[in-house]
Amino acid sequence: MYKRQRHAVGVTLGYETNYGPSGRVFYERRNLFGHAELLRVEAEVSRIGAGGGTQNVNSRLGASLRRPGMIDGRTTMVLEAAALRERLDAYDRDAIIATALLERPIGDRWQVRGGPTFETGRIGRDGDLQPFTLLGLVTGVRYDSTTSLLDPRSGIRVDAAVTPFADLAEGGGFVRAVGTARTYLDLTGDGGSVLALRASLGSLFDAAREVPLDKRFYAGGGGSVRGYDYQGIGPRDARDRPLGGLSLVEGSVELRQRVSGSFGIVAFVDAGSVGTSSAPEFSDVRVGAGLGLRYATTIGPLRLDVGVPLNRQPGDSGYGIYVGLGQAF
């Protein structure tokens, strides 16, 4: 018998120093056709305080449908579509994205996924947006032995994907590979002190032509290297704007300490580098460090982090403040 509520509505709010508040609202309809489907529709807006009125506001409207029990009874079909508008320091993009994936568990902790993805729209800088159309094939794997999605205290989580893209507009193509591993160590056995570690690697291969700006790698900001501007780490042009790179290496160490009741504190160090070749580069690693507060709720911890860049470049901000729901990683 299907016992969960069929309808759900939620709101997520966030804040980052340089770009102001962000928000997301979603609606979910469970068991849509009577086979445990999940329909989710969401709208997101960010960079509200980035300056320039509404010109620099980012937005996204998307929908997804999950249909479990396909093929052999264990495979889930995931259909996603979204329309988005991005106005970033690195690029401007208006795009429509559609993806059709199949996900299948292997045992209790492994999952594999794969399927086509299609993107079309315009991308560029300074208002000069050029049309693009990409067709890709997503292949990915995930391993998860953690205890919680939003507040893990032990276990390991690994997510890796390799996606070959064909450029239908200009010809040629490239392969984008990225992987992230996280591990959580419960130092006291009761979740009072948790050591969290994260490492990410990314590379672009076989780029016969210029890789679209949004598929390049960037680092900096919340969820990356805190204390630095979003996408602020890596190669820059003559106007000090991010160019992105062909490789990425990132790492984080975070000590999470419960203080009293629902309150906790964290200390963290993040590091990252963006390279101009497909092989990860370590010659220009940027490091950020800081402290944060946590307040535990039934849906995950509320997070407030303050980070500072330890070896910033000219033009970098002196600190960053990040507010959100759930741990940083």
Q: What is the pLDDT of residue 267?
A: 98
Stretches in the chain below the pLDDT threshold 70: 1-4, 50-53, 207-209
Q: Quick one: pLDDT at residue 3?
A: 55
Tell me the pLDDT tens digit for each residue of 130-178. 999 999 999 999 999 998 888 899 999 999 999 999 999 888 899 999 9
pTM of the model: 0.87
pLDDT of residue 52: 58
pLDDT for position 20: 79
**What is the pLDDT at residue 241?**
86
Long-range contacts of 34-40 (CB under 8 A, 24+ apart): 35/67, 35/68, 35/69, 36/2, 36/68, 36/69, 37/65, 37/66, 37/67, 37/68, 38/65, 38/66, 39/63, 39/64, 39/65, 40/64, 40/65, 40/66
